[in-house]
Amino acid sequence: MTAINLPDIFGSMVFNDRVMQERLPKDTYRAIKRTVSERGSLDKSVADVVAAIMRDWAIERGATHFTHWFQPMTGVTAEKHESFIAPTGDGGVIMEFSGKELIKGEPDASSFPSGGLRATFEARGYTAWDPTAHAFVKENTLCIPTVFCSYSGEALDKKTPVLRSMELLNAQALRILRLFGNTTVSRVITTVGPEQEYFLIDRDFYQQRADLLFTGRTLFGARPPKGQEMDDHYYGSIKPRILAYMKELDEELWKLGILAKTKHNEVAPAQHELAPIFCDTNTATDHNQLTMEMMKKVATRHGLTCLLHEKPFAGVNGSGKHNNWSLATDTGINLLEPGDAPGENAQFLLFLTAVLKGVDEYQEMLRCTVANAGNDHRLGANEAPPAIISVYLGEELTEALEAIASGSTYLARERVEMEMGVPVMPAIPKDTTDRNRTSPMAFTGNKFEFRMLGSKQSIAGPNIVLNTIVAEELCRFADRLEAAADFDRELNALLKETITAHKRIIFNGNNYSEEWVREAERRGLKNLCSTVDAMPYYIAPQNIELFTRHGIFTEAEMRSRYEIHLEDYCKTLNIEALTMTDMVRRQIMPAVAAYSQVLSASAVQKKQLGADISIEMERELLRRISQLGESLYRQAEELEDILLTAAAFDSAQDKARFYCDTVIAHMRSLRGVADELEMIVGEAYWPFPGYAKMLFRV
Ligand code: ADP
Ligand code: MG
């Protein structure tokens, strides 16, 4: 094995700040930096200089093409490759790439989902360079991160609102810092580190299963005798084949400047996790998309398939993503880190309560950001947090907050009595190691870990909402504190009121328990069990008001996104149901018939051998198999009829409701019959590999 030189390869495919400093003329570099810090647009002449240098740099790294790399509402990234080649007029070609091509592109975007936006506004969409994200070379293509908008300015992508929400949060957080007398910080960013779970299975098995190919999850599959009950996979030693995969994946990610750091086996067999070192939300969102893409590509090179679906296998844990989120200043301070001095703690407490208040007031909106057909299998199924949003703070921090709310003396754990008068704040415990793994939103010492995300979704949605709701609360706090005659007194009153009004969102117990479901109901917290229950809140007046007031979304954008999410839900279930009927008709029923024939032939042969030979086994099995076979046939017919009914709905919400209540029930029932058959039909006759093979033979 050749040793790799991490400093050499890290970011070697990224046109990052270091490269720009080295290669760009000084004034061009300064112009770019100014564009980034002032969020302005780039001058055409500057763009031409950057483009030429970027092209040469990319060609040195094997690039022949360039693309505007963007994140449409499909949730995956999109690329339209164009080669650098331009005719010279004398039959030759030169490698060309202009400033105009760097700054703006016009992909034929008519088939990206727009939820009616383009029809309502402007037919064409355009992409524009996001200079706050670095260009990179991937597979011989220079990728330029871009936003994707309609000509009337509506965002058609996931990146634009991320950038808008970061700007908003920056502005509001700065107001708060100024109130605390801080004049040195000039920018506040949100930081994110997403932990990504995934499954790896043998590629041969994957290719033999239409359900995995078409839907990313198994729609059939009897439980193997061994599942995850032994917990022997979690942090277990990693198999050589998987290690080789992880090593190559790390290297690919490092080249792209992605700080892949930890990797380990997860709870379910064949399940693993990768966590990067955190960075700003915009970059983290790009990087997570790239990570998912590389996970799949590298798997193919190793004869493996990476499954990113939220629930590839029934009966074993599915995959999620933990969105670790915090606020950082350009002076290197984490604003969710409790300080040493009481004054710092007051500031910390203000940011902390802004999160509490935002999460409580906009819990439905936050819930919507993790609502999709795949994640419905996980939330509330005792493998992921419930569908009820709450915040874990740990006992000590909760006690400190309660003391502030009640105006009582806070007795810290080390039994040091604290004065609770104005403006003294309690010493905040720094060590919150008693981590609660069941909470949807856990404070883990200096950041919040939002744990409800599905494994394959973009992290953009949850972060747009987190940034916006926290910015909203900071804005309200700042309005009040800026107007106060006595800052300390007002601050204390504000904390007291906010904690009292929103402490219902704090829960430190077991979120998987039945009692919590009842307790949450008593507290008035929402339990939105499915995507269909959650999505109407996406366009609730309170949410439209919030997001339009802050310019994160227009109302049209929100309504279009709502439509896209529901359409996606219906389409996903429709494809799953059609795949099921197809597999039943063309694979399972023929297999059942073939096995029945074998049993019948065996019975006939035995009969010929003599009356004293029992054919009870064949008779019993045949009876059971034909009963189940009949049922399978009938249920597949029914499911198809039901899909016709589903297709006739006009309203997206009604249609989604029908899929949720009726189609899913039929799918489940059909699966039940098929899985029973799988357990009695000879393995050699079953048309595709079963769970035991897929999960344990990697
Ligand atoms: P866990 O115990 O949840 O598995 P890990 O150590 O695997 O924790 O992951 C923690 C994640 O949190 C990492 O991706 C890390 O980069 C991220 N993280 C740490 N500090 C911050 C921060 N200030 N802001 C955002 N993310 C952070
Ligand atoms: Mg975690």
- What is the best residue among 195, 283, 446, 466 to mutate for testing ligand 1's pocket, by most ligand atoms within 8 Å of CB? 195
Ligand 1 pocket, residue 553 CB under 6 Å: no
Atom of ligand 1 nearest to the CA of 194: 14
Give 57-73 pLDDT, tens digit per residue.
Answer: 999 999 999 999 999 88
| Vertex 149 angle, CA 146 and 152, to 5° | 150
What pLDDT was estimated at residue 338? 87
Angle between the N-to-C axes of helices 342-361 and 159-179, in degrees from 0 to 180, rounded to the nearest 10? 140
Per DSSP, which regions of 203-314 are E strands? 260-265, 271-276, 279-280, 304-307
- What is the best residue among 234, 447, 459 to mutate for testing ligand 1's pocket, by most ligand atoms within 8 Å of CB? 447
Lowest mean pLDDT of 278-287, 342-351, 686-695, name the range: 342-351
CB contact set of 580 (below 8 Å; sequence gap of 6+): 211, 219, 220, 636, 639, 667, 670, 671
Give 680-690 pLDDT, tens digit per residue.
Answer: 999 999 999 99
CA of 502 to the centre of ligand 1 (A): 26
What pLDDT was estimated at residue 433? 55
Confidence of residue 653 (pLDDT cuts 50, 70, 90): very high
Report how far apart the first and last C-alpha atoms of the chain are (Å, whole number): 22
Token pair of 326, please?
């915090």
Token pair of 424, please?
């003294």
Ligand 1 pocket, residue 322 CB under 6 Å: yes
CA of 278 to the centre of ligand 1 (A): 7
Closest CA to ligand 1's atom 17: 193
Query: Model-level pTM?
Result: 0.93
pLDDT mean across residues, the chain? 91
What pLDDT was estimated at residue 422? 42
Confidence of residue 3 (pLDDT cuts 50, 70, 90): low
Give 8-61 pLDDT, tens digit per residue.
Answer: 899 999 999 999 999 999 999 999 988 887 777 778 889 999 999 999 999 999
Give the position of tokens 């070192």.
277
Ligand 1 pocket, residue 626 CB under 6 Å: no
With a cut of 70, say whether residue 310 has pLDDT above it.
yes
**Pairing label, strands 391-392, 441-443:** parallel
| Nearest one of 203, 218, 216 to 303, comparing CA atoms | 203
Ligand 1 pocket, residue 367 CB under 6 Å: no
Q: Give the single-character DSSP code of 417.
A: B
Closest CA to ligand 1's atom 22: 326
Give 245-264 pLDDT, tens digit per residue.
Answer: 999 999 999 999 998 986 77
Higher pLDDT, 270 or 479: 479
What pLDDT was estimated at residue 539? 97
| Contact status, residue 691 vs residue 679, Cβ threshold 8 Å | no
What pLDDT was estimated at residue 126? 86
Confidence of residue 419 (pLDDT cuts 50, 70, 90): very low
Higher pLDDT, 249 or 425: 249
In a 13 Å sphere around the CA of 618, the CA atoms on its Cβ side amount to 16
Closest CA to ligand 1's atom 4: 195
Higher pLDDT, 123 or 486: 486
Confidence of residue 415 (pLDDT cuts 50, 70, 90): very low
Give 593-620 pLDDT, tens digit per residue.
Answer: 999 999 999 999 999 998 899 999 999 9
What pLDDT was estimated at residue 311? 97
CA of 566 to the centre of ligand 2 (A): 28
Give 624-640 pLDDT, tens digit per residue.
Answer: 999 999 999 999 999 99
Ligand number nearest CA of 193 is 1
Ligand 1 pocket, residue 467 CB under 6 Å: no
Count the Cβ atoms, other than its own, within 10 Å of residue 39.
Answer: 13
Ligand 1 pocket, residue 451 CB under 6 Å: no
